[in-house]
Amino acid sequence: MPAKTGMQYCERINAQTVPCWYKGELLNGKRSEHIAFSGLMKTQRFMYDMQSDPQLAERLTYASPSDGKPVGMSFLPPTSSDDLRKRREAMTLWTQVHHGFLGRSPDYMNTAIMAFYTAADLLNELSPQYAENLRNYYAYCRDHDITLSHAFIQPHASKISGQLDATEDAIAAKIVERTEEGLVINGAFMMATQAATSDEIFVYPSPSPAPFDDENPFAFSFAVPNDLPGITLVCRDTYAASSDYNYPLSSKYEEMDNIVIFDHVLVPHERIFFAGDEQMSSALFSASNFHIHAGHQVLCRYIAKTEFVLGTIQLLTDTLDLKSEAHVVEKTARALAGLESLKALAIAAEAGAVPDGRGYVLPAPKPLMAANLLYPRLYPELIEILQLLSSSGMIMVPQEEDFQSGAAESLNIYLRGTDLNSPERNALFRLIWELGAGSFGGRQTQFERFFFGNTITVSNRLYTASAQDQSQRERVRQFLARSAK
């Protein structure tokens, strides 16, 4: 099957049988009709349909090496700078639909599984079967346009229990049995965004050390369909609502996060990429260049999101007639500088592309790592600009219904903007409220702060990548040597 349509995407998710808890009840019925998922699924349905739009198909798909049928461009393993450009253009087309608010837009995980595929050879060290499994799984995802979520992070209590508790009830997910059919996994994962709106889940925990075992039961990676027996999802409260006017963002882009519980789940051998080897866990992660390939997709998203928030700041200052205020100029320029920096980093990443040593091409790592370090600070700063400029306006935001009520006449007089009528100005302020004060916006800020790891982890990537570089030290050494003469 080639790149799927929006209808096929919805049909597959609606057919799932995985138990999924929401507000104390097990969901039944079509997920595409449930308020917690319907807006997002409609958005992704549109995105998948773009793949077969004659105007866009050439930019969003390429011919599968298995049968020549069109498959999603974000599955393409780049072997040239031109491939990186094609990937960026396709990913950017999808960002024009979600404006960077989908952290798990399907191209993110398409890119992730592509990245791991590029390093599949490494698994031969443990078993050629593992390498074959990973290659086959990548081809399966590409040729069936599988929508994936991922679970890397374990519940916080597992950080202690994983190290101390060798028994089966350790909180960190672990291998509890090896059978002829596969591995039995027990435990939970803290967070899988969009698990309930994906076909399958890719699991790759950062393993707790297991100093007393020959084989580390916490070290493994696999991918399984969501509705394998023993898997259960638990949702948080939804931030979505149906009214597009009242909730312009969450009505379209609310990505549900799930706790994923594995209760003695039998993972078939052919879906296991490695097991038991702690060193392979970090070696494959690093050889795959996951953070770099994914970072390329993420930077496209950062740019789209910054453009959207900047546009919101500009419309706000227009309608408040604040354009020439000195503090507005300073704040807007800060947002503009942020956007230009991100765009420059994207150009630098592609211009500085390097071979990965395995026959593929990698965007230059350091500009992408720099973007990952800058954005967790830049995004909250952009949101703070909106909060500071909109002040009480972002709080006093009547709903659509009020403009059809007896209060409409007054609202039409008193809520006018400089260049917008009252319902238009109120729509803008409701958008600002969702970004800066609502629960949807709160999650977005937290997402940007943490999704690629905490600040220390993210800093460490750039620091380590630069550790061997002596050029700046050498410049200062030469300067000091000349000064001493």
Ligand X SMILES: Cc1cc2nc3c(=O)[nH]c(=O)nc-3n(C[C@H](O)[C@H](O)[C@H](O)COP(=O)(O)OP(=O)(O)OC[C@H]3O[C@@H](n4cnc5c(N)ncnc54)[C@H](O)[C@@H]3O)c2cc1C
Strand, helix or coil at 266? strand
**Position of tokens 């593992």?**
130
Cβ neighbours around 478 below 10 Å, total: 10
What character string, x for contact with ligand X (CB under 6 A) and - otherwise, covers 8-47?
----------------------------------------
Q: Under a CB-based contact definition with an 8 Å cutoff, are residues 228 and 184 in contact?
A: no
Q: Binding to ligand X by residue 445, rule CB under 6 A?
A: no
Nearer to ligand X, 114 or 294 (CB): 294
What's the rounded Cα separation, in Å, for the pair 61 and 59?
6
**Position of tokens 């390429």?**
62
Q: Binding to ligand X by residue 450, rule CB under 6 A?
A: yes
Confirm or deny that 193 is annotated as ligand binding.
yes
Q: Binding to ligand X by residue 150, rule CB under 6 A?
A: yes
Q: Binding to ligand X by residue 455, rule CB under 6 A?
A: yes
Q: Binding to ligand X by residue 153, rule CB under 6 A?
A: yes
Q: Using CB under 6 A, which residues numbered 242 to 261 contact ligand X?
A: 257
Q: Binding to ligand X by residue 448, rule CB under 6 A?
A: no
C-alpha to C-alpha distances, 416 to 39, 247, 433, nearest whole angstrom: 29, 20, 17
DSSP 107-133: HHHHHHHHHHHHTGGGGGGT-HHHHHH
Nearer to ligand X, 276 or 441 (CB): 441
Nearest one of 249, 62, 218 to 145, comparing CA atoms? 62
Q: Binding to ligand X by residue 453, rule CB under 6 A?
A: yes
Q: Binding to ligand X by residue 98, rule CB under 6 A?
A: no
Q: Binding to ligand X by residue 197, rule CB under 6 A?
A: no
Q: Binding to ligand X by residue 192, rule CB under 6 A?
A: yes
Q: Binding to ligand X by residue 421, rule CB under 6 A?
A: no
Q: Under a CB-based contact definition with an 8 Å cutoff, are residues 382 and 339 in contact?
A: no
Take residue 195 and report the two structure tokens written for it: 């698990």
Residue selected from 26, 413, 456, 484 as contacting ligand X according to rule CB under 6 A: 456
C-alpha to C-alpha distances, 395 to 8, 254, 308, 432, nearest whole angstrom: 40, 21, 20, 9
Specify the stretch interacting with ligand X by CB under 6 A; choose among 31-39, 339-347, 355-363, 449-457: 449-457
User: Least distance to ligand X from the beta carbon of 282, Å?
Assistant: 15
Q: Binding to ligand X by residue 296, rule CB under 6 A?
A: no
Nearest one of 373, 370, 392 to 449, comparing CA atoms? 373
Q: Binding to ligand X by residue 163, rule CB under 6 A?
A: no
Contact footprint for ligand X (CB under 6 A): 150-153, 191-193, 257, 443, 446-447, 450-451, 453-456
